[in-house]
Amino acid sequence: QYFIHAKMNEHWGLGKLAGTIRAESIDEMRDADALIDRILFLGGVPNVQRLNPVRVGEDVAEQLTIDAELEVDAIGRYNRAIALTVEHGDNGTRAMLEERLQGEEAHLDWIESQLELIRQVGLENYLASQIDG
């Protein structure tokens, strides 16, 4: 989802925004890599077929709104998973998940800041600030 949004913003000439979203896409890929490694280490089989469908926004405001919803969902999943690791005494996985939870919280904060900027300065001014110069 983030990768597609980054490519769309790049296509629209919003290089600054595209770069930020692309970096988040790479972070999410690294998180997935670490989670898969941990599942394999614990003897499990990663089940990626149950992933949520990719949702693509048709404009920047919709993209940010969808991304915020994705982050809220991820934060909830991480919190539930952390509770399970505590219940089962798996402190290694707990620590790994807590680190990723903090990353999701920081990204949600950034998205919410962007949406607030759009509200305060207007979409056109926000988009102008995201053009690569």
CB 56 within 8 A of CB 1: yes
pLDDT, mean of residues 91-106: 98
Q: What tokens were used for 74?
A: 């991820």
Question: Which segment of 7-11, 42-46, 52-56, 127-131 scores lowest on mean pLDDT?
Answer: 52-56
Higher pLDDT, 86 or 54: 86
Return contacts of 87-95, CB within 8 angstroms, 24+ apart. Answer: 90/42, 92/38, 93/38, 93/42
Residue 52: pLDDT over 90: no
Closest listed residue to residue 64, CA positions, set 113, 10, 132:
113
Q: Side-chain half-sphere of 48: how many Cα atoms within 13 Å?
A: 8
Domain boundaries along the sequence of the chain: 2-129
CATH no. for 2-129: 1.20.1260.10
Q: What is the dihedral of CA 59, 62, 68, 73, to 10 degrees?
A: -120
Distance between CA atoms of residues 75 and 43, nearest Å: 25
Please identify which residue in the block is written with the tokens 């280490």.
41
- The pTM score is 0.90
Task: Write down the pLDDT at residue 129.
Answer: 97
Closest listed residue to residue 42, CA positions, set 78, 83, 96:
96
Reported as a pLDDT band with limits 50, 70 and 90, residue 53 is confident
